[in-house]
Amino acid sequence: MGKWIIDPDHSVAAFVVRHMMITNVRGQFNRLSGSIVVDPDNMDKSDVEVSIDASGICTGISKRDEHLRSADFFDIEKYPQITFRSRSVKSSGMGQFEVSGLLTVHGVSREVVFSVKSAGPERSPEDETSMGFAATTGLDRRDFDMQWNVPLNSGGLMVGNEISIYLDIEADLANG
């Protein structure tokens, strides 16, 4: 068993959402923290905790980022953190896991399941032991009370409701 601390300098939470029903817009959060405990002998003892600073959202367009920080979307003044806390971790093959737990966004908590692939461990030139974790899931933003939208002439919507989530995490072995 090992406890791994998320390295905020080498980790990112990213998302993809449809814009005007015709293209994908990508964004990311660059401020993550948390820990991952993996016990390959007893997966019930494994645990994942991730906290994301919602103000760190970046889509590359400052006007859009400010809108996403507003009450129309993440409302970072009221809900500054996005969190995930696992409830169960199940192995699904060599270095692959299904991690279910509570995701809290915009003050709303919902059960989600992440498909996770791990890589490592690897020893750095600085003598740190690190692992990589790539996690994906999908969700409907309306389930997290993010309702803002604009109808289009075609009958579609300005912002898609289905969101793809990607976590790319590098974590360092605690006390190692």
Domain extent listing, the chain: 2-171
Contacts of 63 (CB under 8 A, 6+ apart): none
Q: What is the pLDDT of residues 4-22, one digit of tens each?
A: 999 999 999 999 999 888 8
Environment class of 44 (CB within 10 Å of its CB; exposed 0-12, middle 13-18, buried 19+): exposed
The model's pTM: 0.90
3-class DSSP assignment, residue 124: coil
Confidence (pLDDT) at 176: 54
Distance CA 40, CA 5 (A): 17
> Percentage of the chain surpassing pLDDT 70?
99
CATH class of 2-171: mainly beta
Q: What is the pLDDT of residues 102-141, one digit of tens each?
A: 999 999 999 999 999 999 899 989 889 999 999 999 999 9
H helix intervals, the chain: 62-69
Q: Which amino acid is at 23?
A: T
Q: What is the pLDDT of residues 58-101, one digit of tens each?
A: 999 999 999 999 999 999 999 999 999 999 999 888 889 999 99
97 token code pair: 């896991």
Distance CA 131, CA 154 (A): 47
Confirm if 99 and 86 have CB atoms less than 8 A apart.
yes
Distance CA 155, CA 14 (A): 28
